[in-house]
Structure 1
Amino acid sequence: MSDEVPATAVAVLTHIVKSIVDDPEAVTVEVDDSGERTALNVRVGDGDLGRVIGRRGRTAASIRTVTRAAASKDDVEIDIEFLD
């Protein structure tokens, strides 16, 4: 595990989520490196969580795939959680 913040992954994740939601100003991405893997916790405004998760979780899965690819540029393995 790396002690560095996965800057590329955070930037990509923030950009993608802000592009999807109705209220981009309400989007926050927190880095939690207390576990085995670094976790990126995403919070969005009221009513936008369903938009980010998508039907059957497909949008969330796609966001995770792209962001993990970006994290590999920083040599970091990440998990992404979408929180209320």
Structure 2
Amino acid sequence: ASDESFVKVSKATHGHVGIDLNTDNFLTDSEGNIVPNPRYYRTIKGKLVKEQRILSRRQQRAKKEHRSLRDSKNYQKQRLLVAK
């Protein structure tokens, strides 16, 4: 067994780090670390489609019952959920 620790502690440097935001990836710093683009829309797209279907269903039901969408509480709650 060696006496080396699992985590290497980097020496504190008082230098500056440059950050580059670009289109290929989310950001790259001057030390060569690359942070990939998070792609939130692609990961949430399926859930968004489902929530929009529910919103449409609530809109159709309010229309069928001759209610204003402003008075339809469930429609308004779903509208806010889709907007988020």
Give your verdict on TM over 0.5.
no
Larger CA Rg, structure 1 vs 2:
2
Higher strand share: 1
Give the TM-score, by structure 2 length: 0.28
Task: Pick 1 or 2: higher relative contact order, CA cutoff 8 A, min separation 6.
Answer: 1
Give the TM-score, by structure 1 length: 0.28
Higher helix share: 1
